[in-house]
Structure 1
Amino acid sequence: MKLSFLEPLYKQSGPFASVYLDTSRDAGIEDPDAAIQLRWRHLRDALMAEGADRNSITAVAGTLGRDTDIPGTHGQAVFTAHGRLALLDELPAPPARDTAHFGTLPDTMPLIVQHAPAIPYLAVHVHYGGRHSTDATGTVRIEAEVGTWPLTRVTPGHRLDEEIPVGDWTRAAGEVGRELEGHARRIDVETVVVAGDVWARGILIHRLPAALRGQVTTVEGAGESEPGRALLEQRLESLLTGRMAAHDRALLDAFLAERARDGAFAEGLAPAVSALQGGRVKALFLNDHPESPFRLWVGPEPGQLALAEQELRTYGIREASEERADTALARALVGTRAELVVVPEQEQWLSEGVGVLLRYADPTSRA
């Protein structure tokens, strides 16, 4: 997964306030806005205890909970720099717990993890309830959306919505298929999920361009899509939860191949840090452990990170602070334009939860 969406944040200097809050407005909550404000007050106290300035507090308070147009369960991630809003991101799912941190670096790893697996897809719902014949009356309605899962749960992708007379459906399905292919190519979709009437969707599928047709998975019982949420959201969740994006899978396969031949790889925190210091990392693989006790020392620049403060001092770096390891790794990845692959531990266990695919082999980077 590319982390370019974080580059504008890291171009700013700290200190940063980083806040993650559940902003869901479920029907079962009597006064969701009051509940959100109560949770925010607890986080505000935590920020103030860590030394956050009044402008930072005000900037966060003016942003949290403003996502009233997003239905269902979700959350917000808010970052400020020098008292001004630096980044706002809607979270596809509520954070595991509400958190707030004020420090030298922004706490971005929980946000990054919520972007995973970042699977580009096309969802299509073919609405039709009439007689299965082209001489029937009525219309076939096509709803389609291209997006990246799971972000489209809270940030809808490009939508297509058309109605076509049943009598024209056989001919028009080919035109719709070509239009869908054009949208799919723009984001290089790797899966096409089609729901709806079996007869009408069958005609569409058989008239899709061959490359797109080979990516189709049909699903039943899609139901109506909720405004402001992803088309076929529940079916997509069933299909894509626990799955890695094809691009990330290819990177992991390359890492495992290099490890098997003792080639351009490193595993463990210390070797990964050494590779990041030299800008030699192509992709970093992470078993996400929010409770991890590992910490690193960092300097002002992305590649300035080390296991011990003295190492940074040896390099002549005077400004150093101790940070969570995942926070330091995230900044280094963005700064060196390396990719991150969040790997479920049951998929691939990594020593100390970290492995890297190197841009070139270097035996000294091994543990």
Structure 2
Amino acid sequence: MYLDTSRDDADTAKVVEPRWHAARETLAEAGCDPLTVHALEDAVLDHPSRPGRHGLALFATAGEVVLRRTLGTPPIKDICAYEPLPHVMPMIAQLARETEPDTPITDRVDDGLTEVVTHLSRGQVDTLLLIDDPSSTERLWIGPDPLQLSDDPEVLNAAGVRHPPLVRADAAMMRALTAADASIALVAAGEHLRGGVGARLRFAEVRR
């Protein structure tokens, strides 16, 4: 969940509570369990208040908030998502914008979602290059292993994964990056990357 916690006076409740109530309804409609909703509510309403413009990123599961991160600026919009994988891309993109410029593409990279996902599943990616597109609806199928991801469910079926869940593509790729000890760099929207994604490869022995 991403929430605008900006306030102009000392009465935080008047500002934040209505935003939280809207978020709570969205989470409930998405099927989020009551214990997790309650944990998020405590984390939002008990968060130390301060004046000015800022935001809050929260990640929770099974009745527990596992990460609470204050954002230096409010999120572009309040976001609530209840899915098998955490929706971390808005936080990563915002923190990157606050600390470093977009990365120019100065060398050859492999691009296109299918190609990049194939490299990710083999542990070959050194750096994922991504154009941050909040409107993207791309999704991938995943297995229990972080490197099990594909745009074709039959690929995972052949690997013994039955009924793989369909998740946000950026969430699946971020999980794979973490497992492969790889990095991510955001690139400007004007850069040409097929599907908005590319990869610099290790060109080393593939991890097994």
Give the Å deviation of 1:293: 1.8
Q: Determine the structure 2 residue equivalent to 1:49.
A: 29
> Distance in 1 between the 2:45 and 2:196 partners?
34
Query: Structure 2 residue aligned with 1:104, among 60, 65, 84?
Result: 84
Query: Structure 1 residue aligned with 2:56, among 70, 76, 98?
Result: 76
1:39 aligns with 2:19: yes
TM-score by length of 1: 0.53
Query: Structure 1 residue aligned with 2:164, among 316, 320, 335?
Result: 320
Contact 2:124–2:204 (CA under 8 A) maintained in structure 1 = no
Residues 57-136 of structure 1 aligned to structure 2 (within 5 Å):
57-117=37-97
Q: Determine the structure 2 residue equivalent to 1:345.
A: 189
SS in 1 for 2:198: strand
> Distance in 1 between the 2:73 and 2:32 partners?
27
Percent of aligned positions that are identical: 36
> Distance in 1 between the 2:18 and 2:169 partners?
30
SS in 1 for 2:53: coil
Gaps of 5+ in 2: none
Contact 1:20–1:95 (CA under 8 A) maintained in structure 2 = yes
How many residues in Structure 1 have an aligned counterpart in Structure 2? 205
Give the Å deviation of 1:53: 0.9
Letter of the structure 1 residue corresponding to residue 7 of structure 2: R
SS in 1 for 2:127: strand
Contact 2:4–2:75 (CA under 8 A) maintained in structure 1 = yes
**RCO (CA 8 Å, sep 6+): is it higher in 1 or 2?**
2
Q: Determine the structure 2 residue equivalent to 1:271.
A: 115
Give the Å deviation of 1:274: 0.1
1:285 aligns with 2:129: yes
Q: Determine the structure 1 residue equivalent to 2:5.
A: 23
SS in 1 for 2:170: helix
Gaps of 5+ in 1: 1-18, 118-148, 151-239, 260-264, 363-367
CA 1:65–1:342 in 2, change beyond 3 Å: closer, same or farther? farther
Q: Give a deviation string over 1:2-41, Cα, whole Å, max 9, x none.
A: xxxxxxxxxxxxxxxxx110001135xx954223111111
Give the Å deviation of 1:91: 1.2
> Distance in 2 between the 1:300 and 1:92 partners?
34
Contact 1:295–1:324 (CA under 8 A) maintained in structure 2 = yes
> Distance in 2 between the 1:112 and 1:87 partners?
13
Q: Give a deviation string over 1:209-242, Cα, whole Å, max 9, x none.
A: xxxxxxxxxxxxxxxxxxxxxxxxxxxxxxx7xx
1:294 aligns with 2:138: yes
> Distance in 2 between the 1:68 and 1:343 partners?
34
Letter of the structure 2 residue corresponding to residue 80 of structure 1: A
Give the Å deviation of 1:100: 0.9
Q: Give a deviation string over 1:256-275, Cα, whole Å, max 9, x none.
A: 2xx2xxxxx31010000000
Query: Structure 1 residue aligned with 2:148, among 270, 289, 304?
Result: 304
Greater C-alpha Rg? 1
Give the Å deviation of 1:69: 4.2
Q: Give a deviation string over 1:311-355, Cα, whole Å, max 9, x none.
A: 211111125111111111111111211100011113x23111000
Cα RMSD after superposing both structures: 2.0
CA 1:278–1:55 in 2, change beyond 3 Å: closer, same or farther? same
Give the Å deviation of 1:60: 0.2
Contact 1:300–1:319 (CA under 8 A) maintained in structure 2 = no
> Distance in 2 between the 1:92 and 1:330 partners?
22
